[in-house]
A = this chain, B = another copy of it.
Amino acid sequence: MGVSVKQVAQLAGVSVGTVSNVLNRPDTVRPETIHRVHDAIEALGYVRNDAARQLRAGQSNQIALIVLDMGNPFFTDVARGAEDRAAHYGRTLLLANSDESATREAAHLDQFERQRVSGVLLVPTADAAEHVARLRARGVPVVLVDRGSGDHTIASVAVDDVSGGRLAAMHVLAQGRERIAFVGGPSSLHQVRDRCAGARAAVREAGADDLIVVDTPGLTLDAGREAGERLRAMVRAGTCDAILAANDLIAIGLQQALLAGPDGVRIPEDVALVGYDDIAFAAAAVVPITSVRQPRDAIGSTAVDLLVAEGEKSTNDARQHVVYQPELVVRASSQPG
């Protein structure tokens, strides 16, 4: 079948040990021998077999990243940041998508464990705790991404979502809006809960009406559209004058539904709209969407840094928890009007 070191060695007239040395520690081999070996490799089209190498080594140099939704540009940006950083450490990034499903998440984790990846970056689903515990029990380094871990022994990189929710709410409150809705879900996701909690706190402090919470089955364009149908009626009835979305996909979907049809409402005149993540498409929407920006690249690259640092710790050492502060980017969808 494949070409192996043995054949290379034979053609070059050396032993397999020497071929291995040429490949991994060229400085210990005579230049002329190196040359001969390289010629043989070229001639035979030899390609190293990672499975064998990894079997020998005991683990791979691959890092896995599991995100909640590959269709969300927020996560592809995080992935890009992680991939670049991983390359910097000479590691490969394996990308997987849980689609917010704990089952799919578990399946991917199993697969990665069998592959003996050197670590896992996980944007966890709601029910991830158990899977994570199992992984760590087996000694697989884990970094939680886009979510602070309550557990001090698990490293994490996150954005202060409570603060982000507060930021969004205070922005619309400052314009005198008082009937504020928060749209997102499932509420089992921490991102959703925290952003909602932040918004609710701001609303309470301002003495406005209680936050209207609209639950959605997921953080997608479609979910946003569906919620928008319901909210359009509320806006027309005057029971809602500002909407905070749990992410930009929801916000974009909401906007489409709010503007649509003969009974469409005006943004921001009738209702202000604020998204979350500040993906590139938020600025390109029908009415450009105000959004809470997260440092997407930095989240990914920092996660890789933490994972690499993880290698040097024992299970019970304290872990690092990086928390970024979000930032409000104001656009037309919430312009005072």
Most chain B C-beta atoms within 10 Å of own C-beta, residue among A48, A49, A253, A287? A49
Q: Which residues of B contact A252 (CB under 8 A)?
A: 281, 284
**A52 contacts partner chain B, Cβ-Cβ < 8 Å:** yes
How far, in whole Å, are A54 and B221 apart by their CA atoms in the complex? 40
Supposing A55-B52, A284-B286, A286-B286 touch, asked if A114 and B70 sit within 8 A by C-beta, the answer is: no
User: Interface stretch among A27-35, A75-83, A171-179?
Assistant: A75-83
**A186 contacts partner chain B, Cβ-Cβ < 8 Å:** no
How far, in whole Å, are A325 and B283 apart by their CA atoms in the complex? 32
A66-96: CB near B (< 8 Å → 1, else 0) gives 0000110100110110010000000010111
**A234 contacts partner chain B, Cβ-Cβ < 8 Å:** no
**A58 contacts partner chain B, Cβ-Cβ < 8 Å:** yes
**A2 contacts partner chain B, Cβ-Cβ < 8 Å:** yes
Query: Contact: B71 with A97, CB < 8 Å?
Result: no
Rounded to whole Å, the gap between the CB of A257 and the closest CB of chain B is: 10
How far, in whole Å, are A146 and B268 apart by their CA atoms in the complex? 41
**A51 contacts partner chain B, Cβ-Cβ < 8 Å:** yes
Query: Contact: B55 with A221, CB < 8 Å?
Result: no
Most chain B C-beta atoms within 10 Å of own C-beta, residue among A95, A287, A288? A95
Rounded to whole Å, the gap between the CB of A32 and the closest CB of chain B is: 26
A171-197: CB near B (< 8 Å → 1, else 0) gives 000000000000000000000000000
Q: Which residues of B contact A52 (CB under 8 A)?
A: 51, 55
Query: Contact: B50 with A115, CB < 8 Å?
Result: yes
A267-293: CB near B (< 8 Å → 1, else 0) gives 000000000000011011111100000
Query: Contact: B76 with A80, CB < 8 Å?
Result: no
Q: Which residues of B contact A280 (CB under 8 A)?
A: 71, 221
Q: Which residues of B contact A71 (CB under 8 A)?
A: 73, 76-77, 80, 280
Query: Contact: B286 with A114, CB < 8 Å?
Result: no
How far, in whole Å, are A45 and B110 apart by their CA atoms in the complex? 12
**A131 contacts partner chain B, Cβ-Cβ < 8 Å:** no
Q: Which residues of B contact A92 (CB under 8 A)?
A: 111
How far, in whole Å, are A283 and B45 apart by their CA atoms in the complex? 49
Q: Which residues of B contact A283 (CB under 8 A)?
A: 256
Q: Which residue of the partner chain B has the closest CB to A220?
A: B280
> What 11 additional pairs, Cβ within 8 angstroms, besides A51-B116, A55-B55, A71-B76?
A2-B58, A45-B138, A47-B110, A47-B138, A49-B116, A51-B51, A51-B52, A70-B80, A95-B95, A221-B280, A284-B285
Q: Which 4 A-B residue pairs are closest in the complex by CB-CB distance?
A: A51-B54, A50-B114, A51-B55, A51-B51
**27 A-B residue pairings within 8 Å (CB atoms):** A1-B58, A2-B116, A47-B113, A49-B55, A49-B114, A49-B116, A50-B51, A51-B51, A51-B55, A51-B115, A52-B55, A70-B76, A70-B79, A71-B280, A80-B97, A92-B111, A95-B95, A95-B96, A221-B284, A252-B284, A253-B284, A255-B284, A281-B281, A281-B284, A284-B286, A286-B287, A286-B288
